[in-house]
Structure 1
């Protein structure tokens, strides 16, 4: 069941509502007006594995968290002295 964001045209209240019918516009919980409309929401998702928060840049080449490695010159990242 999706949660949608709405805005009341009468009192400018923004609210979220769990709805069963995606075309339904629920009344405003603040003023009870039926004059509400759906807002566009930003979507953020993560697919598989670890991905550090890079401020939304999904194309980042950020290193994975440090892991033990045979290289004593770095913290497990990708460096030229690891061989």
Structure 2
């Protein structure tokens, strides 16, 4: 079932509505005005059960990776280049 985002021209309320006819613009739930318009919305979907993958758009991790470090890694740390590593 398609759910579309709408905005009321009279009161400015933004709302979502399940519609069967994609050309239909439902009345505003706030002020009941018929002057509503469909908004452009981003496609949203989820696959699997894990955390969302943001790809290049997500924030970069601040933790250093072991492969990016120049020293050897030990079980005591993940930095790979500390005083306890030989």
Q: Looking at CA atoms only, which structure, 1 or 2, has the larger radius of gyration?
A: 2
Structure 1: gaps (5+ residues): 59-72, 74-83
Using the size of structure 1 for normalisation, the TM-score is 0.58
Alignment: residue pair count: 60
1:26 Cα offset (Å): 0.3
Of Structure 1 and Structure 2, the greater helix share is in: 2
Partner of residue 40, structure 1? 40
RMSD: 2.7
Give 4+ residue runs of structure 1 displaced > 2 Å after superposition. Answer: 44-47, 49-54
- Spell out the pairing of 1:4-83 with structure 2 (5 A cutoff): 4-46=4-46, 52-54=51-53, 56-57=54-55
Using the size of structure 2 for normalisation, the TM-score is 0.56
